[in-house]
């Protein structure tokens, strides 16, 4: 293995001399003697076999090759600083990553707002986001692949908060037969038409909602289901936030059912490790709860 001859401390010294304009200033900044700074630069040039600094008047300036090597060295120093910060964070209990699992029914605008607010507070914590449908969260939970979960149910033995009630509405294209048959439609009326359902992403899927249509197509996402309904390919129960624009534009309409036109799905937030609640996780979960509460309040005003 070839070991680098130039140390990080030498690169830091070069960076200080250049950024501060001279050996004296760098020595004061680094709390070292001027002779030790000069020696560090001289040794660096000897080890590289290159002249990286030239004295212009009273100021030390980079040579052309010096500019090139210092640019690369700056990236190295930044990575070294980040590594040291990461080590300190881990030692203090700050997480280097958070694996966030979110059910697809959770409003994407609330999620994006939360992540944007978390970013400047994250101290470099990486976010690994997985979007699941129904029992998909259970699989990741069982295999230890998540830290924070927003899911349709609170597993046995876990403590968490119910953070949102998502309204699902039975809808179809405005020209669909179900929207031109009059009011008070029944289950028998629905059975005659194609239903678009969203497939459970878990290994042991569970049924949810009304699934009695003789003609049923299954898709993997709520967005695909909404697009198919908008293209008059079937009807579906979809969360209001996914179809609000389509409803306002009149492209789709609520199906005039006698009962069951709307139902509410609860979403829960909990930590996957029963004893786990690191500082970054607390910040992120608090933002998720606050933004969810605000969204719920706005939603209730509309409804």
| pLDDT value of residue 205 | 61
Do both 163 and 272 map to the same domain? yes
Do both 48 and 103 map to the same domain? no
Do both 69 and 166 map to the same domain? no
Domain membership flag for residue 1: no
What pLDDT digit, counting tens, does each position of 157-185 carry? 788 899 999 999 999 999 999 999 888 99
CATH at 234: 3.40.190.290
Residue of 159 and 57 predicted with greater confidence: 159
| pLDDT value of residue 21 | 82
What pLDDT digit, counting tens, does each position of 72-107 carry? 888 888 777 767 755 655 556 788 889 999 999 999
Q: What is the mean pLDDT of residues 23-45?
A: 90
| pLDDT value of residue 275 | 47
Task: Answer with the one of 45, 70, 91 that is the final residue of a domain.
Answer: 91
Task: Answer with the one of 23, 58, 91 that is the final residue of a domain.
Answer: 91
Give me the domain span that covers residue 246: 99-303
- State yes or no: pLDDT of 251 exceeds 90: yes
Do both 78 and 117 map to the same domain? no
Strands (E), 91-159: 97-103, 126-132, 148-151
What pLDDT digit, counting tens, does each position of 273-291 carry? 654 578 899 999 999 999 9
CB atoms within 10 A of CB 238: 24
| pLDDT value of residue 287 | 97
DSSP classification of residue 220: S
| pLDDT value of residue 60 | 78
Instruction: Report the percent of the chain where pLDDT is more than 70.
Output: 89
Mean pLDDT of the chain: 86
pLDDT band at 230, cuts 50/70/90?
Answer: very high
CATH at 56: 1.10.10.10
User: How many distinct structural domains can be found in the chain?
Assistant: 2
Q: pTM score, two decimals?
A: 0.66
- C-beta pairs of 161-164 under 8 Å, 24+ apart in sequence: 161/268, 161/269, 161/270, 161/289, 162/266, 162/267, 162/268, 163/267, 163/268, 163/269, 163/288, 163/289, 163/292, 163/293, 163/296, 164/106, 164/107, 164/266, 164/267, 164/292, 164/295, 164/296
Instruction: Report the percent of the chain where pLDDT is more than 90.
Output: 44
| pLDDT value of residue 302 | 67
Do both 128 and 217 map to the same domain? yes
Residue of 267 and 201 predicted with greater confidence: 267
Do both 189 and 63 map to the same domain? no
| pLDDT value of residue 167 | 93
What pLDDT digit, counting tens, does each position of 190-210 carry? 988 999 998 887 666 665 555
User: How, if at all, do strands 126-132 and 236-239 pair?
Assistant: unpaired
What CA–CA distance (Å, rounded) separates 187 from 257? 8
| pLDDT value of residue 210 | 55
Q: What is the mean pLDDT of residues 216-230?
A: 93
| pLDDT value of residue 268 | 94
pLDDT band at 293, cuts 50/70/90?
Answer: very high
| pLDDT value of residue 121 | 94
Do both 179 and 267 map to the same domain? yes
């Amino acid at each position: 293995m070839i070991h680098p001859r130039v140390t990080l401390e030498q690169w830091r010294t070069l960076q200080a001399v250049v950024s501060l304009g001279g050996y004296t200033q760098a020595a004061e900044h680094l709390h070292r003697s001027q002779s030790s700074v000069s020696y560090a630069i001289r040794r660096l040039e000897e080890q590289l076999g290159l002249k990286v600094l030239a004295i212009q008047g009273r100021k030390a300036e980079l040579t052309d090759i010096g500019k090139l090597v210092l640019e690369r060295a700056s990236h190295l120093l930044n990575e070294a600083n980040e590594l040291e910060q990461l080590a300190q964070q881990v030692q203090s209990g700050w997480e280097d990553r958070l694996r966030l699992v979110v059910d697809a029914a959770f409003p994407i605008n609330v999620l994006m707002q939360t992540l944007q607010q978390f970013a400047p507070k994250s101290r470099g914590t990486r976010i690994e986001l997985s979007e699941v449908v129904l029992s998909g969260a259970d699989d990741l939970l069982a295999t230890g692949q998540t830290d924070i979960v927003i899911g349709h149910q609170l597993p046995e033995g876990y403590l968490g908060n119910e953070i949102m009630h998502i309204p699902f509405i039975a809808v179809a294209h405005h020209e669909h037969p179900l929207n031109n048959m009059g009011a008070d439609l029944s289950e028998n009326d629905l059975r005659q038409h194609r239903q678009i359902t969203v497939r459970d992403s878990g290994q042991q899927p569970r049924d949810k909602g009304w699934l009695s249509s003789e003609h049923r197509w299954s898709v993997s996402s709520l967005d695909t289901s909404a697009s198919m309904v908008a293209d008059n390919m079937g009807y579906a129960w979809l969360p209001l936030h996914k179809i609000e624009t389509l409803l306002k534009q009149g492209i789709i309409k609520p199906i005039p059912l006698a009962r069951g036109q709307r139902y509410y799905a609860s979403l829960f937030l909990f930590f996957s490790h029963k004893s786990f609640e690191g500082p970054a996780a607390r910040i992120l979960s608090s933002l998720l709860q606050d933004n969810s509460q605000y969204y719920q309040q706005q939603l209730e005003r509309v409804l």
